[in-house]
Amino acid sequence: MNTSTGPGATRRRIILDCDPGRDDAIAIATALASSAEIELAGITAVAGNVPLEITWRNARFLCELCGYPDIPVHAGADRPLVREPVTAVRHHGESGLEGVEVEMPAGPIETRRAVGFIADTLRASRDQEVTLVAVGPLTNLALVVREHPDLMPKVREIVVMGGASRAGGNVTPAAEFNVYADPHAAAIVFDCGRPLTVHGLDVTHQVLAAPRHAERLAAGGGEPARRLAPLLHPAAGSRGPRFGPERSPIHDPCTIAWLLRPELFATESVPVTVETEGVHTMGSTVVDWWGVTGREPNARWVTEADGEAVLDLVIERIARLRNP
Ligand code: RIB
Ligand code: CA
């Protein structure tokens, strides 16, 4: 579906910034299971779905569950840049991983060094070597852009799960959660000038997990797949009329599937701005589909996905994981 030059076949060195988070967990597992195509240099946690202390713990726990205890995991921002914090506990549970038996990680308690870790990794890299994948509020990435503008040439691409245009919002009618949770950070990242690929609700709502997908994952792999399979069922607080009682969009894994198989997606290059004010519109991503602003495109907006093929890819990859 995607004719433009997507990520392609070269092995990607990425940092995954996330707020696990049920769908974040599927994205983490898919990335860990794809080591031939993706070098996961590290994971940085941000406050979002649940508070930072839990997102950090979950990221560390998931690496250990998936058999990769040595992946660097650093905690980052515990609150947005300007607005008051919001969470999405209803959709992820108090643990952030509703449906999964979570253990306290054995790994070390990292200091809150996410921004420093990202900056150090960029500084040690060649130009355009590192891909930043962000599937939570963009606070950590915005701090990197603001504090280390000299390191931006080291960034090959920023791949974001966030925003919504034609699909409408999921927190307000106008706003998707990740952008709504820190609109000022999103505005900084969207304006940073690096190649930006945006997986908003327009595309993630085309990737709807059903019970058959969870059953396939539970039956088709090792212990990690079996224990993560419940994440493909909707959380209790997510069931509703929009997708039916048993189906749920798996947002965050779309970013990893994009890196692995860009041909499963279609994109359009568009100008996008982030609304940081507005009683009814704060956190909206305003896409200029018809060029009426005269602004240059600053984002590759993902418009379509082969949802079933994305789910097949995610399931096949996570089924590879073993916890020795
Ligand atoms: O709107 C969906 C996004 O918000 C996903 O990243 C999900 O994990 C939540 O953070
Ligand atoms: Ca997330």
- SS3 for 52-96 is HHHHHHHHHHHHHHCCCCCCCEEECCCCCCCCCCCCCHHHHCCCC
The ligand 1 atom nearest the CA atom of 23? 8
**CA-CA distance, 110 to 174, in Å (whole number)?**
36
Q: Has 251 been annotated as catalytic?
A: yes
Please give the distance, rounded to the nearest whole angstrom, from the Cα atom of residue 137 to the centre of ligand 2. 8
Check whether the bond before 220 is cis (ω within 30° of 0): no
Please indicate, yes or no, if residue 306 is contained in any of the structural domains.
Answer: yes
Please indicate, yes or no, if residue 29 is contained in any of the structural domains.
Answer: yes
Please indicate, yes or no, if residue 9 is contained in any of the structural domains.
Answer: no
- In short, whether 253's Cβ falls inside 6 Å of ligand 1 is no
Please indicate, yes or no, if residue 324 is contained in any of the structural domains.
Answer: no
User: Of these residues, 91, 233, 251, 280, which one is catalytic?
Assistant: 251
- In short, whether 170's Cβ falls inside 6 Å of ligand 1 is yes
- Give the domain CATH number at 145: 3.90.245.10
Domain that holds residue 220: 15-318
Q: Out of 6-10, 136-140, 222-226, 262-266, pick the least confident.
A: 6-10
The ligand 1 atom nearest the CA atom of 19? 10
Please indicate, yes or no, if residue 131 is contained in any of the structural domains.
Answer: yes
In the predicted model, what is the mean pLDDT of the chain?
94
Q: What is the domain count for the chain?
A: 1
Asked if residue 4 has pLDDT above 60, the reply is no
Ligand at shortest distance from the CA of 89? 1
Please indicate, yes or no, if residue 171 is contained in any of the structural domains.
Answer: yes
- In short, whether 229's Cβ falls inside 6 Å of ligand 1 is no
**CA-CA distance, 98 to 74, in Å (whole number)?**
22
Q: Out of 44-53, 103-112, 129-138, 173-182, pick the least confident.
A: 103-112
Please indicate, yes or no, if residue 2 is contained in any of the structural domains.
Answer: no
For residues 285 and 177, is the Cβ–Cβ distance under 8 A? Answer: no
- In short, whether 177's Cβ falls inside 6 Å of ligand 1 is yes
Test site for ligand 1: of 92, 251, 255, most ligand atoms within 8 A of the Cβ: 251
**Using CA positions, which residue lies closest to atom 10 of ligand 1?**
136
Residue type, 176: E
Please indicate, yes or no, if residue 5 is contained in any of the structural domains.
Answer: no
280-301 pLDDT, tens per residue?
999 999 999 999 999 999 999 9
